[in-house]
Amino acid sequence: MEAAHCKRELLIEIPPDVVNRETESVTKEYAKVARIPGFRPGRAPHSLVQRRFRDEIQSDVVQSLVPKFFENAVRQNNLSVVGRPRFDDLKFEADQPLRVKATFEVYPEFQLREYKGLEVEEEPATVTEDDVAKALENLREHWATFEVVSDRAAEMDDYVMVSYEGRDASDPSSTPVAWREGSVHLGGKGTIREFTDNLIGAKPGETREFDVTYPADFPQKKLAGKTLHYRVEIQSIKRRVLPAVDDELARTVSEFSTLEELKRDIRRKLEAQRRRDVEQSAKLKLIEKLVEAHEFPVPEALVEARLERKLERLVGQLLAQGIDPRTASIDWGKMREEARPDAEREARGMMILSKIAEAEKIELSEEELDEAIREMAEEGRETPAALKTRLTETGEIDKLKSSRRNQKALDFIYQNAKIVRRASQPDHGPEAAGRPEPMGVEEQR
């Protein structure tokens, strides 16, 4: 539905006597510090100060009075404002009411549909032997070591230590792309094919030269569509060595003494994570059901806020991959429009959860808020006290409270839902017999 239905306008009118008192008060402050030829600071007539600083004084009066009278008008009209208002058509004349038009958005009124007893299908929270084996393999990858190769040339999957310089093939005088003492993983996921093809068979001390033509849509704009001529000096060759799957691995990567103990611990952790994932997936399905059942206009300010968060996450992901968002070949305008429908659904879901929390009198205790802050502080590596102070000063604390309150509302919906569980496939691994199935929400109740 159109967000225009959430827009409102109010004509704010401030009586002349109020305006005059505020004008006189602001003028006195200016008079204390105003430097006017022929007068010492604080001695110039107020009438002269008002003429000299007319625009500045009027601006200060407007900034002082308009927000207060806007808030009063909002309370009198029992409106719930979203975001910041916009003020237009200002009329500020001597001995006349100060008039201004406020344009803003409000939260829409809507009737809650049924939110208890919703049916949702849930995947089985099972963990297979293959899952355990993959997790164990990931541990081996993490604890891999690198050995220098000195008896052969570079092969696929080797790590070649290099220094290189690349110049635009059509302009040899251009600023080069350089890298000192870098590592190239031959055949690696992020390695450009030409580097793999031209460095296989190389030996330390050699220099290889070759061209790389980048596609027009290459993420780094300064390279997109160009052909660079590279001169690569091979410094050394290393191969990755994975630790053996044995008791020694368990003692190296954990507090356990045997491989079997490590495997049981891996399974326990995987099962706990799987249960969380399954529950979260079911909750997302429940939100989708609620969003589909509720049709009402969504304030544009909420949609824009969700869009900003989505784009911020994308920028963070690009930076984590070493890609400069400013030079990446991304049509941000197009991406913003493509993300808008999802942002609107998310905003609608937030509003529904907030209304359910209100209906069920769900609140966030101070202890729960402090716990949320502790979790965030651990992730951000700062003290809970410092984080709480910063969130309070920036006004983000209210957003955190609202978010956690909505999460409690979603937990309530899930706890009161009709969970339909799919039959799980049996795991015939050595630990399958006698292992209890994870308890679902219905059993816990």
Measured between alpha carbons, how far is 433 from 337 in angstroms, rounded to an integer? 52
Measured between alpha carbons, how far is 226 from 53 in angstroms, rounded to an integer? 58
Global confidence as pTM: 0.73
Measured between alpha carbons, how far is 151 from 157 in angstroms, rounded to an integer? 16
Domain spans, the chain: 3-106, 119-126+257-421, 145-241
- Please tell me the predicted confidence (pLDDT) of residue 433: 34
Q: What share of the chain is helix, strand, coil (3-state, %, to 5)?
A: 50, 20, 35
φ, ψ at 30 (rounded to 5°): -65, -40
- Please tell me the predicted confidence (pLDDT) of residue 247: 96
- Please tell me the predicted confidence (pLDDT) of residue 379: 85
Measured between alpha carbons, how far is 209 from 26 in angstroms, rounded to an integer? 73
CATH superfamily name and code, 3-106 = Trigger factor ribosome-binding domain (3.30.70.1050)
- Please tell me the predicted confidence (pLDDT) of residue 444: 30
Measured between alpha carbons, how far is 298 from 344 in angstroms, rounded to an integer? 7
Low-confidence ranges of the chain (pLDDT < 50): 1, 427-445
**CATH architecture classification, 119-126+257-421:** Orthogonal Bundle (1.10)
Evaluate the CA torsion angle 145, 149, 154, 160 in order and state its sign.
positive
Two tokens at 219? 């993420």
How far lies 427's CA from each of 128, 318, 338, 372, 424, in Å?
A: 6, 39, 41, 37, 9
Which of 260, 314, 317 minimizes the C-alpha distance to 132?
260
pLDDT tens, residue by residue, 247-296? 999 999 999 999 999 999 999 999 999 999 999 999 999 999 999 999 99
N- to C-terminal Cα separation, the chain: 39
- Please tell me the predicted confidence (pLDDT) of residue 424: 61
Measured between alpha carbons, how far is 94 from 51 in angstroms, rounded to an integer? 12
CATH top-level class of 145-241 = alpha beta
pLDDT tens, residue by residue, 55-110? 999 999 999 999 999 999 999 999 999 989 999 999 998 889 999 999 999 999 99
